[in-house]
């Protein structure tokens, strides 16, 4: 109530106003005017206030807070004069100094405690000027601004906010008219803004003629730079560029600082701060201070930018958590395990704030509004390959119901699930608000398999053997096809004709299996026998399955040996054969890898051990080296133990064998006859004899093991050899005489003379050494150099007094040496012997040794024999080429094609650059198509693993090589090309071929399946790759509405065209982007019409049925689609003579809406009527 001084302010304080900052000693004008105001209230003491003592009225505040003033004067047309003052209220540190006006509050309280309205600057929306008439305030008239003091539209050198920091007053003389109550000027603002009004600035009481707008702008800029003390930027760091600023002009330069001083406080980098008067309120750590401009060092500025690292803000009124209930039951508990197909009940969700109060939208002020909240439900299947979203719904809060989600009954896939409830914003579905995640709640649960309903047989682990336990895995499934556990009350039953079956246990866990199954029965061969094994699980909907198995003989269990007698007889030095069979538990002949039968003899030293391999056949002849007992004179008994060392469970068999002395040659002795006396020459005796002489009268005798002398037969004579002469007189051998021995002439030539006897049973020998009586010093050496023989003395000197006749004494020998082309030539100029034409017979490569002998001298040479020239072509690692190699059409062979050139003895040849190409039929396509290669340095050509494309059946291919005009062929490769069960080759279309096509109706269902090369239906075909085409003439219409059932595609609800004509239907399957399969065309000639026409019914005495008449001229016959009809002309059989002369046309039978016509005729004699005979109504 004391604010009335606002009206009388200048009456009391004079034209300068209430300057409270003046010193007390300065005199104050108008101090003799006092105005007191009294307020009387009933029952209270009267209140009296002197208006001079009021110091918080608006004009006093304007004067006290102003830092500078701008005085001006306006001369209005006529005698009107207006004097004005503009005051500048600077920004000091943290706030504006512009006084608050109770009539124009800068802040308004909001209904939300923690949300603030944005401040509206210093003056806000208040006008600049208040108007006084003769010193009295006219309160209802204000002047917003003048054009020269208004804020510019474009940013200039003075910030826009400086224009909000000015206040002003206008003093008028009495030339301006006011209202009677002195509350409003009548025409002040209109006259001031007239274009003829002249504004001048007053400086020190003197008017100056100048541009008022330029003067005001200069004054305002000076006030801003001089008086505004907003923020002090300190600790200059440098200039940077900010590319994140949208305006390129404003991206640089930016000065960076480490600290600021604001409102007496210092803020530094890394200091935690909280924002005020912002929506929302931010908490964070200071990173940098930015000030636009090319600054250097500390500077004051009205404002800048601060970079914060935000810290999460928790507010009481922001969403904090979710409340979830299950009103209809079927609650989902955390980490609960449910059966597949179980129901998750309906969810009621409420969003709660920190106070626990439910809410539906974010808190906001009246200016910013508020955002609605939604709740999003997602059911996610967790898997190692990535999470898959199964269900997703969004619920919004209604006026009469909370957030609500219906029950879920379609979750039947096994695995770990997450049910997530997430609060999101309405417009953007964002789950983050003000840098903080909105509340969410998750439920982890698992879906496991349900009760068993059916089962299937898993992958077996063949082979199956008699008596050997095996397992049958069972995939027990629930109604959704998930593998589940087998109940304890279900006992499997196994049946098979011809077999005795037992099993040990049933594993009922996740890997369900019948374990320890043993089958016993006869299978008749090593290849086994096929049996049908029926498995029954009582209590399931599908309780039986039949399994085809092939049962092979079981592991070895016992031995059967022939002869079966326990005591056997044989002669010493003879190998005894046993026929052994390895049998399984059921008595079947069996075989397995490393099935070695051993026979160990005991009872005498150095007896052999017999072994035989029965791995492939299960039976064999067990024999080995001869049974030889040393110095046997009479019958001797030995024991034979037959067993399989690798099969400890097979009991061994023992046999007793009687060994009789052998009648074969057992001993060889040499004698020298001197007169009538035969002197025995013991083995390895040394005999002295005259050098160069001849030893004669040598005889030999042979004895069996019983010391009985053996008569020498021609057969035995053929097996007797001596080492001192290559030729033996067989007649002398039959009489027991040996060839004469020539004594060498060299003292160093100590020859060992030996007589040997070799047959298939024994190898005997007896020898002696002849020593010289007379020593002759002769030393000779032989060197081999390029097939040249040189004869030297003992010191290596070349002997040059030889003649050409010496070549007759040179001999060459060696294993597999071919002497047919051998040539020996004497070289007179070098006194050497040249040998050419050295070659070997057919033999494997390797080291060969040649012996060059001349008289008593010899020299040995070793040669490395390699493969010969290419003569054959062989495939590497392809052994069994007699059987066709199976391969699926369009697939690769199981091993690479590697060719090796060999000589005629199958030795690998290292001939390179031999061209090899492939011969095949034109119907066989091979990828890669490079069918010509050359051999490498090892004589090999690698064609790699190839892909075969060929028709079904057997095909052959063969590699061919050309070498020195000779063609080399490899063995023929037979291929058994099998069809590809996954390769589509045609489409099979089934439909009702007797269907009637009516215009506007629907086609019958077309059932389409994709057939592979193997003539089977391909499953798992993408429905988007098959379509139906229909056309009349050149037009084609595609239909893609497909219903997929099992392996068939159903085209349903396709409309029959409305226009009559010939149409074709074809189905297309896209194999890939370029290839497609087309079915056979389905053609239909026309559409049967539905005829609609008005009927007129007449009854005639001469007709026996209903007659329908209609005007042909007025009522043409059409169907629903006005397609017309076809008439055929013929004569009725039962017509009268008058009707025979008329034109008769018969319409083909057609289907009407309410009747079926069988003989509809059009008679010209009857006028404009159609008569339908022999018809009946439906």
Q: Which CATH class is domain 454-552?
A: mainly beta
Of the candidates 641, 757, 660, the one whose C-alpha atom is nearest the C-alpha of residue 700 is: 757
Looking at residue 100, the DSSP 8-state letter turns out to be P
Listed in order, strand segments (DSSP E) in 8-60 are 36-39, 47-50
Tokens, residue 973: 């490769």
Please answer whether residues 812 and 821 qualify as being in contact, where contact means their C-beta atoms are separated by less than 8 angstroms.
Answer: no
In this predicted structure, the answer to whether residue 773 has a pLDDT above a threshold of 60 is no
Residue 1149 banded pLDDT, cuts 50, 70, 90: very low
Q: What is the DSSP letter of 726?
A: S
Please state which of the four CATH numbers 2.60.40, 1.10.238, 3.40.1000, 3.30.70 is assigned to the domain occupying 781-865: 2.60.40
What was the pLDDT predicted at 95? 79
- Token pair 């697939």 is found at 891
Burial label for 224, CB within 10 Å (0-12, 13-18, 19+), is buried
- For residue 737, what are the CA distances in angstroms to 694, 714, 758, 937? 15, 14, 18, 59
Angle ∠(464,465,470) on CA atoms, nearest 5: 55
pLDDT at 928 over 50: yes
Q: Range with the lowest mean pLDDT among 28-32, 656-660, 818-822?
A: 28-32
- pLDDT for 28 equals 59
Decide if domain 667-772 falls under CATH 2.60.40: yes
- Residue 797: per-residue pLDDT: 64
Mean pLDDT over residues 1064-1080, rounded?
85
User: Residue 338: which residues within 8 A CB-CB, separation 6 or more?
Assistant: 332, 344, 411, 445, 446, 447, 448
Residues contacting residue 273 through CB under 8 Å, at least 6 positions apart = 267, 283, 284, 285, 286, 308
DSSP string, 405-431: E--B----S-EEEEEEEEEEETTT--S
Q: Which residue has the tokens 């399946």?
A: 1009
The second-level CATH assignment, the architecture, of 872-976 is Sandwich (2.60)
Which runs of E-coded beta strand occur in 815-856? 817-818, 823-827, 832-836, 839-840, 846-854
CB atoms closer than 10 angstroms to residue 850? 19
Cα dist. 643→468, 574, 578 in Å?
21, 21, 12
Flag whether pLDDT at 1175 surpasses 50: no
Percentage of residues in the chain having pLDDT higher than 90: 21
Name the residue with higher pLDDT: 788 or 596. 596
- Rounded CA separation 638/462 (Å): 44
Q: Quick one: 580 exposed, middle or buried, by C-beta within 10 A (0-12, 13-18, 19+)?
A: buried
Three-state DSSP at 128 gives: coil
Q: How many residues does the chain have?
A: 1178
Nearest to 1017 by CA among 1051, 983, 1047: 1047
| Residue 779 pLDDT greater than 90, yes or no | no
C-alpha dihedral (5, 6, 7, 13), degrees to nearest 10: 70
Of 495-504, 1143-1152, 1161-1170, the range with the highest mean pLDDT is: 495-504
State the alpha helices, DSSP H only, in 126-180.
none
pLDDT of residue 519: 93
pLDDT at 105: 60
pLDDT band at 534, cuts 50/70/90?
Answer: very high
Q: Kindly report which listed range (27-31, 94-98, 415-419, 619-623) carries the lowest average pLDDT score.
A: 27-31
Residue 5 confidence class, pLDDT cut points 50, 70, 90: low
Distance CA(289)–CA(307), nearest Å, equals 6
Fold of 319-448: Immunoglobulin-like (2.60.40)
Q: What is the mean pLDDT of residues 889-896?
A: 87
Residues in contact with 564: Cβ distance below 8 Å, sequence separation at least 6, in sequence order: none
In this predicted structure, the answer to whether residue 270 has a pLDDT above a threshold of 50 is: yes
Q: What angle do CA 239, 243, 244 make, to 5 degrees?
A: 120
| 3-class state of residue 1073 by DSSP | coil
pLDDT of residue 558: 92
- The lowest-confidence range among 177-191, 994-1008, 1043-1057 is 1043-1057
Residue 839: count of CB within 10 angstroms of its CB = 11
Q: Where in the chain is the domain with CATH 2.60.40.10?
A: 319-448, 454-552, 872-976
* Residue 979 vs residues 108, 890, 896: alpha-carbon distances, Å: 86, 9, 21
- What is the mean pLDDT of the segment spanning 1064-1070? 86
- The tens digit of pLDDT for each residue in 637-653 reads 999 999 999 899 999 99
Average pLDDT (373-401) is 85
Give the pLDDT band of residue 729 (cuts 50, 70, 90).
confident
pLDDT: which is higher, 477 or 2: 477
Is the pLDDT at 275 greater than 90? The verdict is: no
Helix H or strand E segment including 13: helix 5-13
Mean per-residue pLDDT, 336-345: 89
- pLDDT value at position 662? 82
First-to-last CA distance in the chain?
102
For residue 200, cis peptide bond before it (omega within 30 degrees of 0): no
pLDDT beyond 70 at 152? yes
Residue closest to 414 by CA, chosen among 392, 445, 456, 457: 445
Judge whether 763 and 754 are in contact, CB under 8 Å.
no
What pLDDT is recorded for position 188?
Answer: 92
Q: Is the pLDDT of residue 740 over 80?
A: yes
Question: CA 663, CA 784: separation in Å to the nearest integer?
Answer: 50
Q: Which of 231, 349, 342 shows the shortest CA–CA distance to 295?
A: 231
Question: Contact 1087/1123 with Cβ under 8 angstroms?
Answer: yes
Residue 73 forms beta bridges with which residues? 83, 200
Mean confidence (pLDDT) of the chain? 80
User: Residue 106: what pLDDT?
Assistant: 53
Domain 984-1084 sits in CATH 3.40.190.10:
no
Section 1109-1125 average pLDDT: 42
Contact assessment for residue 863 and residue 830, using Cβ atoms and an 8 Å cutoff = no
pLDDT at residue 1085, rounded to an integer: 62
The residues that bridge with 1155 in the sheet, in sequence order, are: 1177
Both structure tokens of 1098: 């007449």
Q: Rounded mean pLDDT of 545-567?
A: 91
As a whole number, mean pLDDT of residues 1072-1091 equals 72
State how far the Cα of 168 lies from the Cα of 899, in Å rounded to an integer: 110
Q: Where in the chain is the domain with CATH 2.60.40.1930?
A: 572-660, 984-1084
Q: CA–CA separation, 786 vs 781, rounded Å?
A: 16
pLDDT value, residue 772: 60
Per-residue pLDDT, 1167: 37
What confidence score (pLDDT) does residue 1158 get?
37
pLDDT of residue 1165: 36
List the structure tokens of 544: 């039986």
List the Cα angle 613/618/619 in 5-degree steps: 75
Q: Which of 1, 31, 36 is nearest to 18 (CA)?
A: 31
According to CATH, the topology of domain 66-107+116-229 is Ribosomal Protein S5; domain 2 (3.30.230)
Q: Which residue has the tokens 């092979």?
A: 552
Report the half-sphere exposure of 519 (CA within 13 A, side-chain side): 28
Q: Could you tell me whether strands 336-339 and 440-448 are parallel, antiparallel, or unpaired per DSSP bridges?
A: parallel
- Alpha carbons 1172 and 1161: distance in angstroms, whole number: 6
Region 946-969: mean pLDDT is 88
Structure tokens at 223: 């006030």
**For the residues 555-579, what does the mean pLDDT come to?**
89
Task: Reply yes or no on whether the pLDDT at 1087 is more than 70.
Answer: no
Give me the mean pLDDT over the 51-61 stretch. 85
Q: Which two tokens stand for residue 487?
A: 């109940």
CB 492 within 8 A of CB 501: no
Largest CA distance in the chain: 195
pTM of the entire predicted model: 0.33
Provide the β-strand partners of residue 81: 75
Q: What is the DSSP string of 345-391?
A: --EEEEEEETTS-EESB----TTT---BEEEEEEEEEE-TT--EEEE
| Structure-token match 């340095």, residue found | 937
For residue 277, pLDDT over 90 is answered with: no
Q: Which CATH architecture has domain 572-660?
A: Sandwich (2.60)
């Amino acid at each position: 109530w004391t604010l009335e001084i606002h009206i009388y302010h200048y009456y009391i304080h004079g034209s300068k106003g209430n300057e409270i900052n003046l010193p007390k000693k300065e005199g104050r004008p108008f101090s003799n005017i006092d105005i007191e105001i009294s307020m009387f209230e009933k029952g209270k003491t009267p209140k009296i206030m002197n208006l001079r003592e009021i110091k918080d009225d608006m004009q006093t505040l304007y004067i006290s807070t102003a830092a500078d003033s701008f005085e001006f004067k306006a001369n209005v047309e006529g005698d009107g004069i207006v004097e004005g003052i503009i005051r500048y209220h600077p920004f000091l540190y943290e706030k504006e100094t512009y006084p608050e006006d109770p009539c124009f509050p800068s802040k308004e309280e909001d209904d939300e405690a923690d949300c603030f309205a944005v401040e509206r600057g210093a003056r806000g929306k208040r006008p600049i000027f208040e108007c006084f008439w003769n010193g009295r305030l006219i309160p209802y008239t204000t002047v917003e601004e003048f054009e020269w003091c208004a804020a510019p539209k474009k940013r200039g050198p003075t910030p826009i906010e400086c224009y909000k920091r000015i206040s002003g007053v206008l003093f008028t003389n009495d030339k301006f008219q006011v209202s009677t109550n002195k509350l409003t000027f009548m025409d002040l603002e209109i006259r001031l803004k007239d274009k003829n009004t002249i504004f001048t600035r007053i400086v020190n009481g003197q008017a100056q003629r100048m541009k008022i707008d330029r003067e005001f702008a200069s004054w305002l800029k000076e006030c801003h730079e001089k008086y505004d003390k907003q923020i002090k930027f300190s600790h200059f760091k440098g200039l940077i560029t900010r590319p994140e600023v949208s305006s390129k002009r404003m991206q640089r330069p930016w000065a960076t600082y480490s600290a600021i001083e604001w409102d007496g406080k210092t803020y530094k980098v890394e200091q935690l701060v909280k924002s005020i008067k912002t929506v929302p309120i931010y908490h964070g750590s200071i990173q940098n201070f930015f000030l636009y401009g090319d600054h250097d060092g500390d500077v004051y500025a009205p404002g800048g930018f601060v970079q914060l690292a935000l810290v999460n803000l928790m507010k009481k009124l922001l969403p904090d958590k979710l409340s979830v209930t299950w009103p209809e039951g079927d609650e989902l508990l955390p980490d609960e395990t449910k059966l597949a197909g179980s129901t998750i009940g309906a969810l009621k969700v409420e969003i709660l704030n920190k106070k626990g109060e439910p809410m539906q939208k974010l808190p906001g002020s009246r200016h910013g509004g508020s955002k609605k909240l939604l709740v999003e439900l997602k059911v996610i299947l967790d898997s190692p390959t990535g999470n898959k979203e199964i269900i997703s719904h969004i619920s919004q809060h209604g006026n009469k119901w909370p957030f609500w989600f219906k029950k879920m009954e379609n979750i039947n896939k096994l695995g770990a699930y997450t049910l997530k409830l997430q609060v999101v914003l309405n417009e953007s579905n964002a789950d983050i608000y003000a840098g903080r995640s909105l509340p969410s709640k998750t439920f982890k649960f698992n879906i496991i398999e349900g009760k068993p309903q059916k089962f299937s047989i898993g992958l077996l682990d063949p082979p199956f053997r008699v008596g050997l336990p095996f397992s049958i895995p069972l995939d027990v499934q629930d109604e959704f096809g998930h593998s589940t556990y087998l109940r304890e009350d279900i006992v499997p039953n196994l049946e098979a004709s011809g077999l005795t079956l037992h099993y040990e246990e049933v594993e009922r866990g996740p890997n369900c299996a019948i374990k320890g199954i043993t089958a016993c029965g006869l299978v008749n061969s090593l290849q086994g026998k096929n049996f049908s094994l029926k498995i029954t699980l009582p209590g399931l909907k599908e309780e039986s399955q039949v399994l085809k198995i092939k049962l092979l003989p079981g592991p070895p269990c016992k031995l059967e040996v022939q002869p079966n007698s326990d005591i056997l007889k044989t002669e010493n030095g003879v190998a005894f054969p046993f026929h052994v069979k390895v049998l399984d538990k059921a008595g079947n002949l069996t075989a397995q890898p490393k099935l070695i039968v051993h026979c160990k003899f005991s009872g005498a030293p150095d007896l052999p051990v017999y072994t035989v391999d029965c791995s492939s056949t299960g039976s064999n002849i067990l024999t080995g080296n001869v049974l030889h007992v040393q110095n046997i004179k009479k019958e001797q008994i030995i024991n034979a133990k037959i067993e399989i060392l690798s099969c400890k469970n097979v009991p061994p068999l023992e046999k007793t064998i009687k060994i009789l002395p052998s009648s074969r040659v057992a001993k060889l002795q040499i004698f020298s006859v001197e007169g009538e006396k035969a002197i025995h020459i013991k083995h390895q005796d040394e005999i002295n004899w005259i050098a160069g002489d001849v030893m004669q009268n040598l005889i030999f005798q042979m004895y069996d093991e019983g010391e009985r002398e053996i008569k020498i037969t021609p057969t035995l004579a053929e097996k007797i050899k001596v080492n001192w002469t290559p030729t033996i007189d067989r007649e002398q051998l039959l009489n027991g005489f040996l060839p004469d021995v020539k004594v060498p002439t060299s003292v160093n030539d100590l020859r060992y003379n030996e007589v040997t006897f070799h047959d298939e049973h024994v190898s005997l020998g007896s020898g002696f050494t002849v020593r010289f009586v007379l020593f002759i010093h002769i030393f000779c050496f032989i060197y081999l150099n390029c097939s040249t023989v040189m004869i030297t003395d003992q010191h290596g000197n070349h002997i040059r007094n030889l003649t050409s006749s010496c070549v007759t004494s040179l001999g060459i020998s060696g294993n597999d040496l071919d002497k047919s082309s051998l040539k020996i030539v004497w070289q007179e100029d070098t006194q050497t012997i040249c040998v050419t034409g050295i070659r070997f017979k057919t033999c494997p490569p390797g080291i060969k040794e040649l012996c060059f002998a001349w008289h008593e001298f010899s020299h040995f040479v070793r040669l490395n024999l390699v493969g010969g020239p290419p003569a054959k072509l062989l495939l590497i690692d392809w052994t069994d080429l007699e059987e066709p190699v199976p391969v699926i059409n369009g697939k690769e062979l199981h091993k690479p094609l590697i060719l090796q050139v060999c000589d005629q003895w199958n030795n690998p040849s290292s001939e390179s650059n031999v061209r090899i190409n492939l011969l095949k039929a034109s119907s066989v396509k091979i990828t890669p198509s490079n069918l010509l290669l050359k051999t490498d340095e090892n004589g090999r050509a690698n064609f790699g693993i190839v892909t075969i494309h060929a028709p079904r059946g057997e095909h052959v291919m063969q590699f061919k090589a050309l070498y020195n005009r000779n063609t080399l062929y490899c063995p023929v490769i037979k291929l058994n090309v099998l069809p590809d069960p996954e390769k589509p080759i045609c489409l099979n279309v089934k439909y009702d071929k007797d269907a009637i096509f009516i215009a506007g109706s629907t086609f019958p269902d077309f059932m389409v399946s994709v057939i592979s090369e193997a003539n089977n239906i391909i499953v798992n075909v993408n429905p988007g790759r098959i379509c139906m085409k229909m056309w009349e003439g050149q037009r084609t219409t595609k239909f893609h509405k497909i219903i997929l059932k099992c392996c068939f595609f159903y085209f349903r609800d396709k409309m029959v065209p409305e226009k009559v004509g010939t149409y074709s239907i074809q189905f297309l399957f896209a194999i890939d982007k370029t290839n497609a399969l087309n079915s056979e065309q389905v053609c239909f000639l026309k559409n049967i019409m539905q005829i609609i026409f008005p009927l007129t019914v007449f009854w005639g005495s001469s007709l026996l049925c209903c007659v329908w008449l209609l005007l042909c001229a007025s009522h043409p016959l059409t169907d629903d689609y006005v397609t017309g009809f076809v008439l055929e002309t013929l004569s009725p059989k039962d017509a009268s003579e008058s009707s025979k002369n008329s034109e008769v046309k018969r319409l083909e039978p057609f289907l009407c809406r309410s009747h079926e016509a069988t003989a509809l005729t059009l008679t010209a004699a009857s006028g404009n009527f159609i008569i339908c005979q022999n018809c009946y109504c439906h």
